[in-house]
A = this chain, B = another copy of it.
Amino acid sequence: MSQTTSSPYDEPMPHSAPLDRTATISDVARLAGVSVPTVSRVLTGAARVSEDRRRRVDKAIAALGYRPSAAAQVLASGRSTTIAILAANTSRYGYAEAIRGVEESARAAGFAVIIVVVESERDDEVRAAADAVLRQSVAGVVVLKFDPPGVAALKALQSAIPAVALSGVPEAGVPQAVLDESEAAAALTEHLLSLGHSTVHHVRIPPSGKEDGRTTGWRLALQRHGIPTPPIEDVSWDVSTAHEIGVRLASDPAVTAIFCGNDETAMGVIRGIHDTGLNVPDDISVVGFDDHPLAPMFIPALTTARQDFAELGRHGTAQLLALLKGESPLALETVEPPLVFRESTALPSSRRR
């Protein structure tokens, strides 16, 4: 009665649901008047089948509306045509775009996609996510290593399965596709400096580790100019925290230029500044990061660095598929985000300082 152990399998199973029975390969074989392996051969194209039989099989398949069972195929062949996306989030801009890119190219290659999310870096969540991936007999996994949960999940996978990471910071070890953020962040910061601002404040989005490329680039640019780094402001993913920080920063006359971790944050910060009666860029310059679709529509339109997350996702999938085919070494492709200058930056105001 009483249970002294506590493996996850002591828990009740989820309510699984019965599958509607549909035509099987033997139904097709019977109708076509051939053996089951012959049907399999036309399915996989693994071996030659006579024109005549192939036609009969195709006809039977069409007649029965037959679709091979992916589960049975993976079991019998030991090969899978499904990949997993492991991510901490599915709906935020960069994440959603990266997922779109992965899904798109996976589908083009004939792979199905399962999505598993790991919400936090808590040990049980990370383990559950890794388990979910492993249980599904996927060929490989693309992990969005944008944040601590992503990093932890990647580690939990322990290369038990082919994996590639999508990331903003190059890093040795795992195959990955990276969008090199740090140079672009530095360039954005220097743009602000070159306008005449004596320093640049930074609003940091939740980082992937101790520091992400955006923050690193900002710090780097400041260092290059011998400017001490002002205290960092941290925002959550909730834009309203960016708004609060905007209000706070606006009250500090030393603040004339702000580098935000992403465009949504920049919009929140600008709105906060706006609400104190100050103007962007006349009083304070603000830059974002990502080139969000709404960045050019915002008033003022955002100066930012363009990140092509979907492309990152496509690269990652390509890497994974190459890895699966045994091709290597994989070129670690690094893309540098192009800067786009719009309306949210200007010379420092004489009204401040």
8 Å CB contact of A80 from B17, B110, B139: B17
Cβ-defined contact, B4 with A55, below 8 A:
yes
Cβ-defined contact, A264 with B239, below 8 A:
no
Residues of B within 8 A of A55 (CB): 4-5
Closest to A109 in B: B14
Please judge, given known A-B contacts A96-B96, A103-B90, A136-B70, whether A79 and B17 are in contact too, CB under 8 Å.
yes
Please judge, given known A-B contacts A81-B16, A160-B22, A293-B264, whether A9 and B61 are in contact too, CB under 8 Å.
yes
Which of A41-49, A172-180, A202-210, A215-223 interfaces with chain B?
A41-49
Instruction: Confirm or deny: A236 has a beta carbon within 8 angstroms of a beta carbon on chain B.
Output: no
Instruction: Confirm or deny: A26 has a beta carbon within 8 angstroms of a beta carbon on chain B.
Output: no
Instruction: Confirm or deny: A19 has a beta carbon within 8 angstroms of a beta carbon on chain B.
Output: yes
Which of A112-120, A146-154, A184-192, A193-201 interfaces with chain B?
A112-120
8 Å CB contact of A136 from B7, B110, B112: B112
Instruction: Confirm or deny: A230 has a beta carbon within 8 angstroms of a beta carbon on chain B.
Output: no
Instruction: Confirm or deny: A71 has a beta carbon within 8 angstroms of a beta carbon on chain B.
Output: yes
Cβ-defined contact, A139 with B264, below 8 A:
no
Cβ-defined contact, B67 with A71, below 8 A:
no
Which of A249-257, A294-302, A328-336, A345-353 interfaces with chain B?
A294-302
**Complex alpha-carbon distance, A77 and B107, angstroms:** 28
User: 1/0 per residue A1-26: CB within 8 Å of B?
Assistant: 11111110111111111111110000
**Complex alpha-carbon distance, A235 and B43, angstroms:** 43
Please judge, given known A-B contacts A71-B75, A78-B19, A90-B96, whether A110 and B9 are in contact too, CB under 8 Å.
no
**Complex alpha-carbon distance, A115 and B115, angstroms:** 7
Instruction: Confirm or deny: A274 has a beta carbon within 8 angstroms of a beta carbon on chain B.
Output: yes
Residues of B within 8 A of A78 (CB): 18-19, 21
Please judge, given known A-B contacts A58-B5, A137-B70, whether A91 and B97 are in contact too, CB under 8 Å.
yes
Please judge, given known A-B contacts A45-B12, A90-B99, whether A114 and B117 are in contact too, CB under 8 Å.
no
Return 26 A-B CB contacts under 8 Å, by A number. Answer: A1-B51, A2-B51, A6-B58, A7-B62, A10-B45, A11-B45, A14-B109, A17-B80, A17-B139, A17-B325, A22-B134, A22-B160, A67-B131, A67-B134, A67-B135, A69-B135, A69-B137, A70-B137, A91-B93, A91-B99, A91-B310, A103-B115, A103-B117, A112-B114, A113-B116, A114-B115
